[in-house]
Amino acid sequence: MVGRERVLQIANCLFLAVLLTGLGVSQKKEILWSPSEKPLAEQIHGLRGLPDDVRARTTKNLALSIRGLPATENKLRLAVGLANLSTEGDFGRDTLQEVASTLSATLKERLLPWDEKKGPAEPYVELASLVRYEHVEAALDDDQYRAAMARLEGDDRKREQADFSLQDLSGKTWKLSYLRGKVVVVNFWATWCPPCRKEMPDLQALHDRFAAQNLVILAISDEELGKVQPFIQERKVTFPVLLDPGRKVNEAFVVEGIPKTFVFDRDGKLVAQSIDMRTRDQFVAMLKKAGIE
């Protein structure tokens, strides 16, 4: 999502970095919130500490509150920051629709310049990701939004053709194209990533439940063995964990934010993917598209 994994890695600065990334603002610049904006910023900052049901209600209410603010740069920061955190789990389609509607309405009010090097500004990519991967709607007639959708379509074509050969923690080599006949879940993660850590027990549960149906889960990290191995051992993860120190596989799958998960069916076709953390039920729904129930 917006901010990408290097922003996420600085966990204590996540919210500020997310709000600034894509808006062309230095992370050193102090944000001056108005009295009506500051409480909303503080609520967004605390979303991860809420129970999921409370977080869903709070996210929806925040979307509606942000939509009612005057059209300022801070309003866009809040809309983008909320959108970035709204996909970390299952908070309901209605909630995501309100988030997308708020971001879309805010972009109509405050157009952003086109980045000559990177293309459409990041908030347009954020909105396009919600529409394409979370199946919500956005009424935005804008060239940058269309360009963002086209970029995502191109990214998906690259993922459909991607292959890799990586070693797991024991030194065994895994090659994606050699796993035809099995359903393969490719999960990109890191030890420092809170949503990654939260979804890992559910991935383990999927492995335990569906391995007999020829499900293979491959979790890919770009970190060093010395960081990954103790983490995996402590959590008693038994599915293969692969290392991608040069990030070549991350790049092949156009992974710029984590966690991300891709499901390939027994014919090697990409049938489902997620742009963020998933719950166990969401993972099960993804597997159903590959023929596992």
- Angle at which helices 38-45 and 52-67 pack, to 10 degrees? 150
φ, ψ for residue 173, nearest 5 deg: -95, 135
- In this structure, are strands 173-175 and 241-243 parallel, antiparallel, or unpaired? unpaired
- CA distances (Å), origin 107, targets 20, 78, 102, 195, 240: 15, 12, 9, 27, 42
Q: In the chain, where are the structural domains located?
A: 4-157, 165-288
Amino acid type, 176: L
- CA distances (Å), origin 3, targets 14, 122, 143, 166, 191: 8, 9, 22, 27, 17
φ, ψ for residue 27, nearest 5 deg: -70, -10
- pLDDT bracket for residue 111 (50, 70, 90): confident
Of 1.10.1200.10, 3.40.50.2300, 3.40.50.300, 3.40.30.10, which CATH number belongs to 165-288? 3.40.30.10
Mind listing the pLDDT tens digit for each residue in 228-238?
Answer: 999 999 999 99
**Predicted confidence (pLDDT) at residue 209 exceeds the cutoff of 70:** yes
Check residues 242 and 293 and name the one with the higher pLDDT: 242
- Burial (CB < 10 A; 0-12, 13-18, 19+), residue 61, is middle
- pLDDT bracket for residue 8 (50, 70, 90): very low
89 within 8 A of 56, measured Cβ to Cβ: no
Mind listing the pLDDT tens digit for each residue in 32-90?
Answer: 999 999 999 999 999 999 999 999 999 999 999 999 999 999 999 999 999 999 999 99
Check residues 112 and 267 and name the one with the higher pLDDT: 267
* Residue 165: partners with Cβ closer than 8 Å, 6 or more residues away: 173, 174, 175, 176
The dihedral through the CA atoms of 259, 262, 263, 264 has a sign that is: negative
